[in-house]
Structure 1
Amino acid sequence: MSGQRPSATAKDNGITPIQQMVASCSGALLTSLFVTPLDVVKIRLQAQKNPFPKGKCFVYCNGLMDHICVCMNGNKAWYKAPGHFNGTADAFVKIVRTEGLGSLWSGLPPTLIMAVPATVIYFTCYDQLRARLKVKMGQHEQFAPMVSGAVARVGAASVISPIELLRTKLQSEKLSYRQLGTCVRRAVGAEGWLSLWRGLGPTLLRDVPFSAMYWYNYERGKQWLCQRYGTKEPTFAMTFVSGATSGTIASILTLPFDVVKTRRQVELGELQAMNLSHKASSTITVMKKIVTQHGIKGLFAGFLPRVIKVAPACAIMISSYELGKDFFRKHNRDRELGPLHTSDT
């Protein structure tokens, strides 16, 4: 036992933090590649009914996070595709036929620039925190995923929030990076460094409860499936089903905060596009406005599209992440056993 490598004990379940980052990065890539076409079709269908004129914006979501895109196309409307779409399947066919297959992944590069680092930070922090909390919490270790998920989401959202704001500014105005730096210095000078985290509040109101519920239900569901089918380690199918189920539950329960966050993002994007500096409405104000205009059901608008999008995104992300971690575990195990087999021979 004294010959055991010290580095192995520093690994979480046999893999290093760097390997966790690589596994989560591959998961983010696969998820974005899968979900982006669904968003493109959804936006095209929305745009033919309510085109986006100059200065307007829409929220683009890849299942992992949301993005603001501001229309700066003169007086023309965005996504004015030829013909009329008669549904999702018809939109898929017409877009591919008239614009090519690659058009289904339009907007993918900026999505990956945001999604990949956020996912890497989020999943790596979660695994590292959970491994430590399970030891410290003892008999209450079943709550370690909930606490770890919430803390990891706060960290990831806080790191990415200023980048999201800067990217929105670049989309709303044609600025060079030097001009952008000048704008940032002016904003920080006028409102302080906290101005770079504008809109973080409603993001955390939705994402922190989502992450806490998602990871708790995922780990419990995965454990239950292993016990039911008598396996020590979860299979790919088990992680896929657990991810989809836990993502569906969390997305339904946090839907009101998602609606509020979308409203605030759109409002913020429009203010920036029109060069207006007054503050966006608070979360409570937006929520009251929605209830006044549409009733309680307005807080659950977009129920079906959100579930259809989030469930497969969560399933693909977590199952590919677990698959990547399994690959690195086997790789590390083979490397450690290699010298032993050599010495035996």
Structure 2
Amino acid sequence: MSSQRSSSVPRGDITPVQQMIASCSGAIITSLFVTPLDVVKIRLQAQRNPFPKGKCFVYCNGLMDHICVCENGISKAWYKAPGHFSGTLDAFIKIIRMEGIRSLWSGLPPTLVMAVPATVIYFTCYDQLCAVLKLRMGDRSDYAPLLAGAVARVGSATVISPLELIRTKMQSEKQSYRELSAVIQSALHNQGWRSLWRGWGPTLLRDVPFSGYLAALHLYCKKKKCPNMSNTCLSTCIFLFQFASIVTLPFDVVKTKRQVELGELQTMKLSTQVSSSTYYVMKRIVAENGVSGLFAGFLPRLIKVAPACAIMISTYEFGKAFFRRYNQKKQRVT
């Protein structure tokens, strides 16, 4: 019986369950480490400027103090919106000062909940699809990682989209679970279940090309340049990851805008079709904030990519290597 069980796993290979375990550990560690950067990124992407460039020149007579914060105490002063963040460091300082350091981990529960299925679905589907496609594509098997990465990301992004919406709403502003629940119930009542997948389109535009490209890059580096994922290769991958994250950042901004607007459009009694198009949202962002608005949250996203990718790739590869050695040892014994 033991020899039959061990023969079900090809020599040197690992089971899907072992792939899931290897991927989950990295996902949990990554979520704990980079959540503050996610909070800051989403705050920068979600904030609105009530005045051109965030300021207006008015007389400082006290009449506007309930709306704006006077930057100096003279009779004429620049006013700017309270809570407006001028940059990444400013956002960190103001969030900690006004809401406490725990706010930097807002949305951590849904982040942890979504990290497990997202990572399990992506990495497991990627490895399984890649193996199948290589057998079927023959001479064109070099394209297998690209296609497998894209298909795996579509599946994982679709499954976790409602959880990502909840996380984005929690990280965009300080609110209780009761307030969030009321917003979601209102959206379900007015728009149906499809409202839970708000921002799904730009999410795919952000993640699918990114994942397909990174999957092919990762496999190339591992096989052609550094079979053991050396520090040099890992550094090269991280650098290219950062480049890919910058290119796809505008879609991340659109995704955040779409998800943050859940419940706000009903409150303002505006049509929910106002911002249903990714292209329209991009045009609106450029009109309000210029082209730079499409790259809001640039620095925290850039900083996040390096540790996130390093932890995920290293942990996943270590986990697979561990289980591969374990299976080989078990097969030799049996």
Q: Same fold (TM over 0.5)?
A: yes
**8 Å Cα contact 1:125/1:152 also seen in 2:** yes
Matched, 1:30 2:29: yes
Q: Which runs of 5+ in 1 are unaligned?
A: 53-79, 227-232, 340-345
Q: Secondary structure at the match of 1:333?
A: helix
Which residue is 2:58 aligned to? none
Match of 1:262 in 2: 256
Question: In 1, Cα distance between the equivalents of 2:293 and 2:184?
Answer: 39
Q: 1:283 to 1:105 in 2, by over 3 A?
A: closer
Question: 1:152 matched to which residue of 2?
Answer: 152
1:303/1:107 Cα in 2 relative to 1: closer, same or farther (>3 Å)? closer
- Shift in Å, 1:217: 1.8
Q: Which residue of 1 aligns with 2:279?
A: 284
Query: Are 2:143 and 1:143 aligned?
Result: yes
The answer (yes or no) to whether the contact 1:145–1:219 under 8 Å persists in 2 is: yes
- Deviations along 1:252-283, one digit per CA (max 9) or x if unpaired, are 22122222222222223533676867335021
- Residue 313 of structure 1: how far off its partner (Å): 1.2
| Shift of residue 320, structure 1, vs aligned partner | 1.0
Superposition deviation, residue 22 in structure 1: 0.7
Tell me, yes or no, if structure 1 residue 128 matches structure 2 residue 128.
Answer: yes
TM-score by length of 1: 0.68
What is the letter of the counterpart of residue 38 of structure 1? L
Question: Which of 1 and 2 has higher RCO (CA within 8 Å, sep 6+)?
Answer: 2
* CA drift at 1:325: 0.9
SS at match of 1:28: helix
Q: How many residue pairs end up in the alignment?
A: 291
Q: Deviations over 1:96-152 (max 9, x none)?
A: 9x967x675454222211222211111111111111111212222221111111100
**CA shift for structure 1 position 298:** 3.5
Instruction: Say what the alpha-carbon RMSD is for the aligned residues.
Output: 4.1
| Contact 1:172/1:273 (<8 A) preserved | no
Residue in 2 aligned with 1:73? Answer: none
Gap change, CA 1:301 and 1:112, over 3 Å in 2: same
Given that 2:31 and 2:112 are in contact with CA atoms closer than 8 Å, whether structure 1 keeps it comes out as yes
User: In the alignment, is residue 337 of structure 1 matched against residue 326 of structure 2?
Assistant: no
1:208 corresponding residue in structure 2: 208
TM-score, length-normalised on structure 2?
0.70
Q: Cα deviation per residue 1:291-337 (whole Å; 9 max; x = unaligned)? A: 33444444334333322212321222111111111111111111111
The residue aligned with 1:17 is: 16
Quick check: 1:8 aligned with 2:9? yes
> Are the counterparts in 1 of residues 225 and 233 from structure 2 also a CA contact under 8 Å?
no
Alignment of 1:234-245 (within 5 A): 234-235=228-229, 237=231, 240-245=234-239
**The 10-residue stretch of structure 1 (139-148 or 245-254) with the greater mean CA deviation from structure 2:** 245-254
1:92-241 mapped onto 2 (5 Å cutoff): 105-165=105-165, 174=178, 186=189, 194-226=194-226, 233-235=227-229, 237=231, 240-241=234-235
Q: Which amino acid in the other structure matches residue 231 of structure 2?
A: A
C-alpha distance in 1 between matches for 2:180 and 2:90: 40
SS in 1 for 2:9: helix
CA–CA separation in structure 1 for the residues paired with 2:298 and 2:260:
18
Residue identity in the other structure for 2:311: I
Give, as a single letter, the amino acid of the residue that structure 2 aligns with 1:287.
M
Report the identity percentage. 56
